[in-house]
Chain A
């Protein structure tokens, strides 16, 4: 990522402000619309889940300029998702859903450079979550 892209991600996220819950709602709509089977992986109440999602995303965006701190968040998050039964291919779907939700909520301000910055930022999150997942996967489980 370039420093400019990190700034873009953070500033566009800040613009969401009170719309953050709307982003969460829209995200889950987009996600389950793309792959209804994923709904089964969420056992907690969706309302609670949305709040958690918004909090985690905010933490990660905040940590974006400092890789060590970012990894602290994403590794742990990825490790936790192994337990939920999330597979590597699901990360692609999640990314698509996130970008679609951002586009819907941010509207015109979600321009091409912003989209590109988020695309790269999400890939960084996803790859490092998967890194965390790999070290936490139950080994040799049959």
Chain B
């Protein structure tokens, strides 16, 4: 039986939140602000504050709306924001796709029109439970000024990146709510009960609730209902102990457990399907029941639109958790049927129906599932794509559906299953577009997922036999080139790309993905950078279509091209920015590539410990997401970094782990750096040289020119082998300053040309390649010293050690350990005084020496330290002699 409530409250008092409410009012009145983020623990009053904000907005003439995230609505993209889809679900194109950008834009226009440009104040309760597409839509509408977003996020739940981003940009205000203080609790009790409370009872409320407002609310209403809290001569007393539960959830459960059967059926209906119209609920339960539920603070009825919902998300959680599965299923299916008979099938209600059917374990309309899957795919939410398409009955899965599912499976790393689904899809009748994408996706899965480039080429050839007309045929040619490029044949890839004559945007995009890498690795780095940039622009303009890689791929290519061009700082900066974006969008493959490229850049920069960290991250992500090829490459980089740090065992261990992963041709010659350097650090120089020579030969035969220069340069660095002739040739055919610097280094080293080595050090340093610069400077020191120029030798040695200091503990054969600066005691004493700015005369007086003796000592110190002025002396002595 629903407990009778002793007193009727106009409204539960709002205590301690007025300042936050003012923050909202101010934000809403400012066009600079797009929303308010309310953050805090469960029961602290986030929903209540959001409701107050909404009411204030409504009273001041703003239209308002309410969306709630839940595990149920998260099942279907945009399922939570159905109420906002003023323009419907968007019209799918002939291939069944919905253009997300167009849908968002239509929604914006429809809302602006409906509300005459007034911002729609939208409460998103439990925003961290919203699906990615819903969040994207809310973010878009907020940024456009169509809605003002009030989002609540429970402590411990992730704050959606979208909100963090808006907050960081100053577009969203954030308030962090805390439980009430003892004083605030007293005020709350006083106002809720309408008079003073006996001291012991007040203390007990404080001890049990520690000021959590929802807890207080549940407890007070519960105690009033059970008769534990009673008024005698104007003062409230506790006749009974408060319920001995320490958990808010238990308390809510207890309160809901006390409801009558009729009241219970109402809250259950709301927990699954809210919001519901008052009129509908009135047919389901007597009016009195609804009234008593409202009085008990369990449901709220919006005056404006007569929508009924549960007063608090926690109530919904408790009710759903306690509901038998079969009962939930029956309610959901009944509601779905009711909506189906009263709303058009293609309106927003279709989404709600599908959500309910899905949640009930039933069979929603396959059309709605597929459309939802497209939306999820646009939001890169492949888990949802998979769940939705797998709910489509097998016999109803057409080629387009198979493509969606196959792609999702590939992205999720379920390669065998992806191969099966995509092969089945190819057997279905389909448009040429879909047929093309099936072929491209299947070949990508075979190549990248299953690590079988030969299979991928066969799939590609099969498709080319069927699809022969441009422009689609040309995309298959681009795909062939992709397989060749990423299995270690850049020269052949470039030759295949030559066969493409078409220029439509999609072809350009696919072409750029392969072309940028191929150009970079073959030594045309400037073209590679431009190609990657143009590819990104084209891809963005094209919209994100199926069967083309993520747009971030172009950014990864640009990073790679910049690295090959020796523009290391630019490469690093771009990669970091890109990594942050794809991490927030959860695109594992792009995350892996950014991490691996950051490792690569750090290796060339000589920041070997950083390189180790990035490669380890890439290897971990690749393992987690089951990408064999990238994992193999990351493990190669990891072994290389370990070896350069002198960590013999760890390097060998990384190589051993790599041996468990199938071979992968992309940048194959570069991967052998790992074997070579592990041999170097294990003091097996002949083996190292063999690895480097054979890898260089392989690179030469496949067109990996920049890689070849890296390998040959390392052959010189680690084994002292003269590779200058070929390095010069490579510098002649590559536009990369890094390749040129390597050649210059090798040529000068061969000639023991001290100046040339110092210049090479300068070149490397300018590119940010500090380890190579340090090694070249070290070589210069030796050459100067051989030529008898002691001062220049010392200067070069100092430079080498300064550059080496940036290399995070790298130990390579080319780095000469720094000799202690060989000043005598007297030289040091005099040098220190001179460095402090004391004149020779004063030094002489102080040390009882002649000025001449002082100058002699100083000259020796200058020569030994490789400096020529007192300022230089100060620098040299200041940096740790």
Contact = CB atoms under 8 A, between A and B. Distances in A.
Q: Do A and B bind each other?
A: yes
Interface of A: 1-6, 65, 67, 87-89, 91, 119-120, 123-124, 127-128, 130-131, 133-134, 137, 139-142
B12 interface: no
9 closest A-B pairs (Cβ-Cβ)? Answer: A140-B60, A139-B60, A88-B18, A88-B19, A2-B199, A130-B18, A123-B183, A120-B186, A124-B187
Interface in B14-64: 14-16, 18-19, 21-22, 25, 29, 56, 59-62
Given A6-B196, A67-B191, A91-B18, 16 more contacts: A1-B186, A2-B202, A4-B199, A65-B196, A87-B22, A88-B22, A120-B187, A123-B183, A124-B186, A127-B16, A128-B191, A130-B18, A131-B14, A139-B56, A140-B61, A140-B62
Contacts of A65: 196, 234
B117 interface: no
A124 B16 CA distance: 11
A124 B199 contact: no
Contacts of A120: 183, 186-187
A21 B198 CA distance: 33
Nearest to B181: A123
B197 A2 contact: yes
B198 to A, nearest CB: 6
B184 interface: yes
Nearest to A122: B183
A142 B186 CA distance: 35
A123 B187 contact: yes
A137 to B, nearest CB: 8
Contact of B18 (A1, A3, A134): A134
Contacts of B61: 139-140
Contact of A127 (B15, B195, B198): B15
A1 B196 contact: yes
A89 B21 CA distance: 11
B59 A139 contact: yes
Given A123-B183, A142-B29, A1 B197 contact: yes
A2 B21 contact: no
A4 B203 CA distance: 14
B257 interface: no
A6 B199 CA distance: 12
18 contacts: A3-B198, A3-B235, A5-B196, A65-B234, A67-B190, A67-B191, A88-B19, A88-B22, A120-B186, A120-B187, A124-B186, A124-B187, A127-B18, A131-B14, A134-B21, A139-B56, A140-B29, A140-B61
Interface of B: 13-16, 18-19, 21-22, 25, 29, 56, 59-62, 183-184, 186-187, 190-191, 194-199, 202, 234-235
A87 B18 CA distance: 9
Question: Which among A89, A91, A128, A140 has the highest number of chain B CB atoms within 10 Å?
Answer: A140
A131 B12 CA distance: 12
Contacts of A124: 186-187, 190-191
Contacts of B199: 2, 4
Nearest to A116: B183
A37 B199 CA distance: 39
B231 to A, nearest CB: 12
Nearest to A90: B19
Contact of B184 (A67, A123, A128): A123
Contact of A1 (B56, B184, B190): B190
A91 B17 CA distance: 12
Nearest to B59: A139
Nearest to B183: A123
Contact of A2 (B13, B15, B198): B198
Contacts of A130: 18
A108 to B, nearest CB: 23
B387 to A, nearest CB: 44
- Name the residue among B56, B62, B190, B234 with the largest chain A CB count within 10 angstroms: B190
Contacts of B190: 1, 67, 124
B50 to A, nearest CB: 16
A5 B182 CA distance: 14
A39 B512 CA distance: 67
Given A120-B187, A123-B183, A139-B59, A2 B196 contact: yes
Contacts of A87: 19, 22
Contacts of A134: 18, 21, 56
Contacts of B202: 2
A1 B235 CA distance: 10
A112 B187 CA distance: 19
A141 B186 contact: no
Contacts of B59: 139-140
Contacts of B62: 140
Contacts of B198: 2-3
Contacts of B183: 119-120, 123
Contacts of B14: 131
A134 B13 CA distance: 13
A134 B62 CA distance: 17
Contacts of B25: 137
A87 B531 CA distance: 57
A141 to B, nearest CB: 7
A1 B56 CA distance: 30
A67 B9 CA distance: 14
Contacts of B13: 127, 131
A21 to B, nearest CB: 28
